[in-house]
């Protein structure tokens, strides 16, 4: 691999082979992986998190999103977190199988990674992999979580906008989900809206969303039939509206604070105070050339 100083420029030029090598380097913690992260020129690329129970249709919905965004000329990266094999700890589902319609599209990059036992629906390197993608030439990054239910709340600390996909059959599970993943959604999608009781279920989700107190944003409920590409345009409109709202700006510092805290905790500095960290980040994140990994190094050194 080339010197770290040359990597950012080559990533920005659209070298997806180099991107794949960089992601593998970070995922496997190969020699120099932290130096690589500290050298990245990370740009504020919007990150869309797609989460929800298994069988909700997340992959089909993402495929639809990719198709629509591609038609608009956007370059998209997809990070799909899959269940791990109990034998080799690798991903059980491959990106070619999940997103075969987009595999030959040069404007789309898809990477499947294994959860490797993480209980939050993400791999423990999801944050770092996302930042490597942000250093490339993408306009948008979509992250799909494993789909394990209530504990799947880590996506809220990584995504600018979190989309929770549910189906009418999830009705009996809502109370269980409510204490966890239901609380972190910015947009709800009721997929398979042609099923029985879908309308009633969507009304229940809407009522729950209105109970959340946020003066800047009330989470909408989008009805979708992903297999027919129904509801995708409405979802894209709502994603755009959220990204343009004040809600995403107020979330930004908290996102950086959460990411920085995780990195510092990994260095066994568990006495770091998140509130104090957020105050320091508030002063730093708007400075030219801000690099999260250099910031963390200054804290742990």
Which of 1 and 56 is assigned the larger pLDDT?
56
Which of 26 and 149 is assigned the larger pLDDT?
26
Q: What is the mean pLDDT of the chain?
A: 81
With cut-offs at 50, 70 and 90, classify the pLDDT of residue 25. very high
With cut-offs at 50, 70 and 90, classify the pLDDT of residue 276. confident
pLDDT tens digits, one per residue of 88-144: 344 444 444 556 666 678 899 999 887 554 444 456 788 899 999 999 989 999 999
CA atoms within 13 A on the CB side of 57: 25
Instruction: Look at domain 43-244 and name its CATH class.
Output: alpha beta
> Mean pLDDT, to the nearest integer, of 254-264?
77
- Please list the residues that pair with 48 across neighbouring strands: 142, 161
CA distance 113 to 95: 9
Residue 71: exposure state from Cβ atoms within 10 A (0-12, 13-18, ≥19): exposed
Model-level pTM?
A: 0.80
pLDDT score of 286 more than 70: yes
- Please list the residues that pair with 77 across neighbouring strands: 109, 141
Instruction: Please tell me which of 25-34, 66-75, 169-178, 210-219 the model is most confident about, judged by mean pLDDT.
Output: 66-75
Percent of the chain with pLDDT over 70: 77
Which of 122 and 159 is assigned the larger pLDDT?
159
> Mean pLDDT, to the nearest integer, of 243-267?
76
pLDDT at 65: 96
**Domains of the chain, residue spans:** 43-244, 251-300
pLDDT score of 29 more than 50: yes
pLDDT at 48: 96
3-state DSSP call for residue 12? Answer: helix
Helices (H) and strands (E) in the chain, counts: 12, 7
Helix (H) or strand (E) holding 132: helix 126-134
- When mean pLDDT is compared across 82-91, 205-214, 234-243, the lowest value belongs to 82-91
């Amino acid at each position: 691999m080339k010197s770290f100083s040359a990597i950012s420029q080559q990533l920005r030029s659209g070298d997806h082979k180099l991107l794949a090598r960089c992601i593998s380097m970070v995922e496997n913690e190969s020699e120099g992986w932290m130096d690589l992260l500290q050298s990245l020129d990370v740009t504020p690329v919007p990150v869309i998190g797609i989460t929800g129970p298994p069988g909700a249709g997340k992959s089909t919905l993402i495929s639809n999103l990719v198709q629509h965004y591609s038609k608009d000329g956007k370059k998209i990266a997809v990070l799909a977190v899959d269940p791990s094999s109990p034998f080799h700890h690798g991903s059980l589902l491959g990106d070619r199988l999940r997103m075969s319609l987009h595999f030959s599209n040069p404007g789309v990059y898809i990477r499947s990674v294994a959860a490797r036992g993480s209980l939050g629906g993400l791999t423990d390197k999801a944050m770092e992999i996302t930042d490597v993608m942000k250093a490339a030439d993408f306009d948008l990054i979509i992250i799909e979580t494993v789909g394990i239910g209530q504990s799947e709340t880590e996506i809220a600390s990584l995504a600018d906008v979190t989309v929770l996909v549910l189906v009418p059959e999830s009705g009996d599970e809502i109370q269980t989900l409510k204490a966890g993943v239901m609380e972190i959604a910015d947009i709800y999608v009721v997929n398979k809206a042609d099923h029985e009781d879908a309308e009633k279920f969507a009304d229940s989700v809407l009522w729950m969303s209105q109970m959340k107190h946020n003066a800047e944003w009330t989470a909408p409920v989008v009805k979708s039939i992903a297999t027919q590409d129904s509801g995708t345009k409405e979802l894209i409109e709502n994603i755009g509206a959220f990204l343009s709202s004040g809600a995403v700006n107020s979330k930004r510092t908290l996102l950086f604070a959460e990411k920085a805290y995780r990195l510092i905790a990994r260095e066994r500095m568990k006495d770091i105070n998140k509130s104090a960290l957020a105050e320091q980040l508030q002063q730093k994140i708007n400075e030219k050339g801000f690099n999260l990994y250099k910031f963390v190094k200054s804290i742990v050194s």
